[in-house]
Structure 1
Amino acid sequence: MAAARPINLKQEKLESQLMDEIWEGEPRLLVQQQGATTDYLLELSPQLRRAAARLRDDGVEPVPTRLFTIDHSNRRIAIYPLITYLSGRLYMPKYERIESIWIDSNFIDDRPTTSIDAVGFLDTYLPSGFIKEIGYGLGLTNEMKPLIQAVEKVSGINGLYLTKQGKTGRNGNFFHIVDQDFSNIRSMFNRITRIHQRESLKERNFLAHNEVLHRALPEEFPEKVRAYEPGTIFKLIGGTNAATTVLKGADRVALLEAVKGNAPSIAKRDPKEFVQLQKDIELVSLDGMIEAFERKLGHNRNELEWQRLFEVNPFILSMIFGYPVVVVQASASVGGGTLSGVGTKIADFLSKNSSTYNAALVEIKRPGTPILGAEYRTGVWAPSRELMGAVVQVLDQRQKFVTNIASIKQSSRVYDLEAYSVDCVLVAGRTPRTPEEAASFELIRSQFKDVRVVTFDDLLGKLILLREMLSGERYVSTVDPAEYETELDEGEFDDDGPNGEDRHEQ
């Protein structure tokens, strides 16, 4: 397909100014007869060509260019799809690699000699699936564009040939498609388009009802919900290839919720399918996520990588809080301004309870962040400087958020967000290995009434527990134990950026 034009504000402004100067008349064809072939050149208005010249680097005005050819002796038509909109690329090929499309035809050899006759010829003899208006530069219709895109993936191809004989495939620098194959493809494309148009109409009807009638008169017009149609899930997750489909993020959560809601009836009517569904879909996705979690844990990945993992798998946050949450904004400004704009304080995640809309803040540190400091007395450890600093940091974020919530909601257009009792969660460090250290850690975090401290081992344990509950089998890690040991480097716990600034403040 044609390469997308880069955004150029100066050019866009110039194009807007030039549009008023463009002649509104119809394009026409110039006829050049050469023996057994006749070429038809597209002539656009002089105003349009002069305007295009001012957009070109060389300033040269484009001249009428061949749009199509009639090969009288071989009864075939060749079209050369062109760009016809105001652009510095006026008259250049419409597609990235396909320069011409040849079509075997049974036209009557009346040799059109005028522009009007030539336009009539195209309208009569170009097959369905082709643009027939010369002002649009010919070529395939929008519905058929994927065919061009597919053919252009074949190396060395610069032309397409619709043939009445032979077979579909490469032929030199042309890709041949037999008429019947082209007709079948066009029919399937059209059928897909009609299906999506019907689905789009249904969705628009639902939207119009819910957003207009239900919103204005909820008692008279109850909210409409799309009814489940059998076969929908089968098609969406790959049909007969469903076992090889890897679901991600919210899709995994939605599937788990659907199975959970239908579990009693599925287990009763189709117990074997229920077990198979658990193993082939849920466990494949969950095992992959647990493995990725373990590898990141072993390599002490930085905060941004963990943030991306939680964004892709938001249900992990729900496991942290113990209630369903919705991520409102990652890297959210909570100290004024908009959620995604420049502010004074940045929280890794701003979430909310999906039922009450109560806000929650999540701060993420590295797995290697020390959570215990020096041994204060025999068998008793004090909290680390890093842990205490992180706790104060998230409390400071909460204070700024509560103070500025009104302006945040107004400027960011997020109105279903409340600060009744903002939950604060700090994800940091690893669970201590010795009983004495673990005891000190539990005593420390139990005293933080406003901040819930969760280690990365806690999260991994929740994922593994979920996996074991779904499978009924004990989880065995596939990660090499050597990868699981975190190596700590001096200074790696700092939140400072490359220039010494705090990454949570802007």
Structure 2
Amino acid sequence: MKGTVHVDDQLLRDVFADPTAMASVYADDPERFRALIESDADASDVIALQHRREVAATMRQWLEDDDAFAQASAAAGGPEKAWQTLLEANPWVLGVGLGGQLMTSWEEGNLEQTVVGRSIKGVGKRVDALLRTAGIIRSLAFAEIKHHQTPLLGGEYRSGCWSPSKEVAGAVVQVQQTAHLATRELGDYIQDQADSGEFLGTGTFLLQPRSYLIVGSLDELTGNSGGPIPDKVRSFELFRRNLNEPEVITFDEVVARAEWHIEAASDVSATYGERPSETDDSLASGEDPGPAGVDEPPF
């Protein structure tokens, strides 16, 4: 039968006789293993999920290993560029890790876009990540991406009151200005156009667009033993929760959300023997609605 893969008795005997010899058996005849994988309808799910685990492991390593992050920063051309490059290559991280809606990049494979000046189609002010929600009606969203070593807090302004760092305050104003100027210049609606210039029947709204600042790590708010310092936690949480825009999210929260998504997808796949509510196309593009029937993480 076409598409059938023949596994001979010797291969099975080799595997069952010594399961630890799988690697050597694969090395002896990798084509047979590849054929088995290609004929398995669920193999693409396993490969995609494993890739996401590797990405999440890399992000976690960057948070916890300064030397590893320094090497990645040097290779990418800077700490912010390292994170931006990783997020561009894995749009599902921001897609499922920011708002309650699914976010996709404005242009596939390129988060950074010009939004002020000659707008998205020309020179002008740039935003680290230009996103739009997925669905029948799409809306624009902006994100500024710093790095996890950016300080969240400055000095102790008064006893128990810690001010936001200069970097955080500046980034907040930056993304506020970007969203404001883009809305003023682009209007309420951007109609999609084909490469030929033809107007399409779809577009994106800019009605009080959501904005995000991804910066720092909550580790900064803990003491030497890892416990939270109440004054610092209170100062930071009250600051960001009372901001109208942008929503401030730390890198450790983004990573934790990505890890939760992967584990939830693994649990659903193991329970039902099939992928959660996503398609091959969504895996390739990063348009990931997340596993159906699973509660959102508590942050």
Query: Taking structure 1 as the reference length, what is the TM-score of the superposition?
Result: 0.37
Judging changes above 3 Å, is the alpha-carbon distance between structure 1 residues 339 and 351 closer, same or farther for their aligned structure 2 residues? same
Task: Give, in angstroms, the shift of residue 349 of structure 1.
Answer: 1.3
Higher relative contact order (CA 8 A, sep 6+): 2
Deviation at 1:444, TM superposition (A): 1.1
In structure 1, the residue matched to 2:205 is: 418
Structure 1: gaps of 5 or more residues: 1-237, 246-272, 473-506
Q: How many residues align?
A: 205
For the 8 Å contact 1:424–1:451, the answer to whether it is kept is yes
**Preserved CA contact (<8 Å) 1:337 1:407:** no
Alignment-mate amino acid for residue 130 of structure 2? L
Q: The residue matched to 1:445 in structure 2 has which SS?
A: helix
Deviation at 1:327, TM superposition (A): 0.8
**2:243 is matched with which residue: 448, 452, 460?**
448
AA aligned opposite 1:326: T
* Residue identity opposite 1:321 in structure 2: G
2:116 alignment partner, SS class: coil
- The RMSD of aligned alpha carbons is 3.1
Residues 147-158 of structure 1 mapped to structure 2, 5 A cutoff? none
Task: Say which SS state the counterpart of residue 366 (structure 1) adopts.
Answer: coil
Alignment partner of 1:358 is 2:142? no
Q: Secondary structure at the match of 1:417?
A: strand
Distance 1:277 1:337, change over 3 A: closer
Out of 165, 180, 185, the position equivalent to 1:404 is 185
Measured in 2, the distance between the counterparts of 1:316 and 1:385 equals 27
Matched residues in 2 for 1:404 and 1:285: separation?
Answer: 40
Counterpart in 2 of 1:62?
Answer: none
Report the structure, 1 or 2, having the larger helix content. Answer: 2
For residues 104-119 of structure 1, what are the structure 2 equivalents within 5 Å? none
* 3-state DSSP of counterpart to 1:416: strand
Superposed displacement of residue 277, structure 1: 8.1
1:347 paired residue number:
127
Structure 2 counterpart of 1:373, which letter?
G
The equivalent of 2:37 in structure 1 is 241
Alpha-carbon separation, structure 2, partners of 1:326 and 1:465: 19
Question: 1:308 corresponds to which residue?
Answer: 85
Change (3 A) 1:406 1:277: closer
Structure 2 SS opposite 1:457:
helix
Runs of 5+ consecutive residues of structure 2 not aligned to the other structure: 1-33, 74-78, 223-227, 268-299
Give the partner amino acid of 1:423.
Answer: R
Does the CA contact (< 8 Å) of 1:350 and 1:362 recur in 2?
yes
Q: Per-residue deviation at 1:401?
A: 0.5
Q: Which has the larger radius of gyration?
A: 1
Q: Distance in 2 between matches of 1:384 and 1:370?
A: 6
What letter corresponds to residue 82 of structure 2 in structure 1? E
Q: Residue 408 of structure 1: CA displacement?
A: 9.6
Compute the TM-score of the two structures, normalised by the length of structure 2.
Answer: 0.60
Match of 1:370 among 151, 164, 167: 151
Assess, with a 3 A threshold, how the Cα gap between structure 1 residues 367 and 438 changes in structure 2: closer, same or farther.
Answer: same
Tell me the secondary structure at the aligned position of residue 118 of structure 2: coil
The answer as to whether partners of 1:369 and 1:428 remain within 8 angstroms in 2 is yes
Instruction: Find the aligned partners of 1:242 and 1:380 in 2 and give their Cα distance.
Output: 59
In structure 2, C-alpha distance between the alignment counterparts of 1:407 and 1:451, rounded to whole Å: 19
In structure 2, how many angstroms separate the alpha carbons of the residues matched to 1:435 and 1:469?
Answer: 31
Residue 376 to residue 401, structure 1, CA distance change in 2 (3 Å): same
Amino acid at match of 1:435: I
Alignment pair present for 1:328 and 2:122: no
Shift of 1:310: 1.6
Distance (whole Å) between structure 1 residues aligned to residue 190 and residue 100 of structure 2: 25
Equivalence for 2:55 = 289
> Alpha carbons of 1:342 and 1:277: their partners in 2 closer, same or farther (altered >3 Å)?
closer
Give the Cα–Cα distance (whole angstroms) in 1 for the partners of residues 105 and 121 of structure 2.
13
Query: Using the alignment, how far apart are the partners of 2:100 and 2:85 within structure 1?
Result: 21
For residues 442 and 461 of structure 1, the distance between their equivalents in structure 2, rounded to whole angstroms, comes to: 18
Distance 2:244 2:35 in 1: 50
Query: Where does residue 171 of structure 2 map in the other structure?
Result: 390
Partner of 2:162: 381
Give runs of aligned pairs for residues 75-94 of structure 1, distance below 5 A: none
Query: 1:435, 1:239 → 2: CA distance?
Result: 55
Letter in 1 for 2:102: P
Aligned-residue offset at 1:447 = 0.8
**Structure-1 residue corresponding to 2:258:** 463
